[in-house]
């Protein structure tokens, strides 16, 4: 696994200081090497920052006084800070976190029997313009730093512990705001931390990156990681996908599916989860289901049908429950494991595609990018 983020100050970081929450284990090793310190300091820091969630260097008692003093000079541990939180009728929690530069992001915790899933954002806004997603409507502002991505897990676990209800983050899905593969380096370092036994220690099967299909970076991910992959498919042919997931015009289905096959080969214990939003009269006919079954033939797959969640100004309606059931039955008959996502947290605008960073007047809006916002750095 190659995962050495360059050590550079995070956006909004104090000039001249490295935010240690921007660094995964390899990044911390490089940082300590630069200070002439031993690599095992990296593991000590991971445990303090992410397991004990201590950000004050002075309290890190297994570091020598000299190391603590050095860190106080040249480093910091900076996190996004909470603005407010909401709890849905169904127990779903949503936190709005404020970032440097006047932006805000949302992160959502979904408690279920025996597990707790955190839905994490990777960008402020999104450049991809999927027609059924409200994040797309606000345009793209900027990539989140690694500290801002992992900070959502840090903060959620901290808040859950403080509640004393014995709830834990056991799963992370990168299905909040943004396209994770357009923020490749920072997302990779953050997911490395999620699965690092000395940081959050989550199973690779329980950390899922969801992408609308930035093919070059998906191919790269097959070399760099083996976390679970979900792909936002939403249409079984190029003509329809070009329309509702416009990035398809750049990376059409044949290329996307090739990259997915590669990912499955490199990570043999995995199958791909295909996300398919159910849009009334658009992509939900029997013929669409048959076409989808043919398209995915031979790829280890699970299909997740997502009832469309409406938002102000949306031009779609959700397919009827009968239609979704029929669509699901056709796929199952073709041998696909098919599930229908239960909508959670819709009364707090916490459901898929509803995250917009509600405190809009605090958000500096930039015009939408012409491209995908892809960061190949």
* Structure tokens belonging to residue 370: 């012409």
Q: Cβ of residue 212: shortest distance to ligand SAH, in angstroms?
A: 4
Catalytic residue among 106, 179, 275, 374: 106
- Tell me which residue of 209, 156, 153 sits closest to 183, measured CA to CA: 209
Helix 184-195 to helix 25-34 angle (10° resolution) is 100
Q: Which two tokens stand for residue 32?
A: 């300590």
- Which one of residues 149, 352, 356, 363 is an interface residue with ligand SAH (CB under 6 A)? 352
Applying the rule CB under 6 A, the residues between 46 and 65 that interact with ligand SAH are: none
Instruction: Please select the residue that binds ligand SAH; options are 187, 306, 324, 356, rule is CB under 6 A.
Output: 306
Element at 78 (helix H, strand E): none
Cross-strand pairs, 98: 81, 104
* Count of positions on this chain that bind ligand SAH (CB under 6 A): 16
Q: Which of 192/210 has CB closer to ligand SAH?
A: 210
* Binding of residue 305 to ligand SAH (CB under 6 A): no
Instruction: Taking the CA atoms of 10, 13, 19 and 22 in sequence, report the sign of the dihedral they define.
Output: negative
Q: Is position 363 an interface residue for ligand SAH (rule: CB under 6 A)?
A: no
Q: 86 forms bridges with which residues in the sheet? A: 94
Task: Measure the CA–CA gap between 123 and 151, rounded to whole angstroms.
Answer: 13
Determine if 308 is a binding residue for ligand SAH (CB under 6 A).
yes
Taking CB under 6 A as the criterion, the residue among 353, 372, 373, 374 binding ligand SAH is 353
- In three-state secondary structure terms, 298 is coil
Our finding on whether 235 is near ligand SAH (CB under 6 A) is no
Cross-strand partners of 272: 301
Active site residue 119: no
CA atoms within 13 A on the CB side of 167: 19
The answer to whether residue 360 is catalytic is: no
Stretch that binds ligand SAH, among 193-201, 204-212, 291-299, 358-366 (CB under 6 A): 204-212
- Interstrand relation of 207-211 and 115-119 (parallel, antiparallel or unpaired): unpaired
In the DSSP assignment, the letter for residue 247 is G
Q: What is the rounded distance in angstroms from the CA atom of residue 24 to the CA atom of residue 21? A: 8
Looking at beta carbons only, is 48 or 276 nearer to ligand SAH? 276
Nearest-approach distance from CB 211 to ligand SAH, in angstroms? 5
Binding mask 247-286 for ligand SAH (x = CB under 6 A): ----------------------------x-x---------
Q: Does 210 bind ligand SAH (CB under 6 A)?
A: yes
**Min CB(98)–ligand SAH separation in Å:** 21
Q: What's the CA gap between 15 and 154, in Å, rounded?
A: 23
Phi, psi of 238 (to 5 degrees): -65, -40
Active-site residue numbers? 106, 352
Residues forming contacts to ligand SAH in the complex (CB under 6 A) are 130, 132-133, 175, 179, 210-212, 232, 275, 277, 306, 308-309, 352-353
């Amino acid at each position: 696994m190659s995962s050495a983020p360059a050590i550079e100050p995070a956006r909004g970081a104090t000039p001249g200081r490295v935010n240690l929450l921007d660094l995964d284990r390899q990044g911390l090793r490089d940082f300590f090497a630069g200070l002439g310190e031993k690599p095992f300091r990296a593991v000590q820091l991971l445990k303090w920052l992410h397991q004990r969630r201590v950000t004050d260097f002075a309290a890190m008692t297994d570091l020598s006084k000299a190391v603590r003093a050095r860190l106080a000079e040249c480093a910091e541990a900076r996190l996004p800070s909470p603005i407010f939180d909401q709890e849905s009728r169904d127990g779903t929690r949503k936190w709005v976190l404020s970032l440097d530069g006047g932006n805000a992001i949302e992160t959502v915790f979904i408690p279920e029997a025996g597990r707790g899933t955190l839905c994490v954002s990777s960008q402020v806004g999104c450049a991809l313009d999927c027609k059924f997603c409200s994040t797309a409507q606000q345009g793209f502002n900027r990539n989140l730093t690694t500290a801002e991505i992992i900070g959502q897990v840090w903060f959620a676990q901290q808040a859950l512990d403080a509640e004393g209800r014995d709830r834990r983050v056991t799963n992370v899905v990168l299905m909040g705001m943004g396209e994770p593969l357009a923020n490749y380096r920072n997302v990779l370092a953050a997911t490395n931390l999620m699965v690092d036994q000395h940081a959050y220690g989550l199973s690779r099967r329980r950390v899922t990156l969801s992408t609308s299909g930035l093919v070059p970076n998906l191919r790269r991910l097959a070399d760099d990681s083996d976390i679970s992959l979900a792909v936002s498919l939403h249409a079984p042919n190029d003509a329809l996908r070009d329309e509702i997931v416009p990035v398809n015009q750049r990376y059409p289905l044949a290329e996307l599916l090739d990259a997915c096959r590669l990912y499955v080969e490199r990570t043999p214990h995995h199958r791909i989860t295909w996300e398919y939003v159910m849009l009334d009269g658009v992509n939900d006919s029997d013929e669409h289901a048959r076409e989808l079954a043919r398209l995915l033939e031979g790829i280890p797959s699970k299909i997740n049908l997502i009832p469309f969640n409406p938002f102000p100004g949306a031009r779609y309606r959700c397919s009827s429950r009968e239609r979704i059931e029929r669509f699901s039955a056709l796929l199952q008959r073709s041998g696909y494991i098919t599930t229908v996502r239960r909508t959670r947290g819709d009364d707090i605008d916490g459901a898929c595609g509803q995250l917009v960073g509600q405190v809009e007047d605090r958000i500096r809006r930039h015009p939408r990018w012409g491209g995908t916002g892809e960061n190949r750095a």
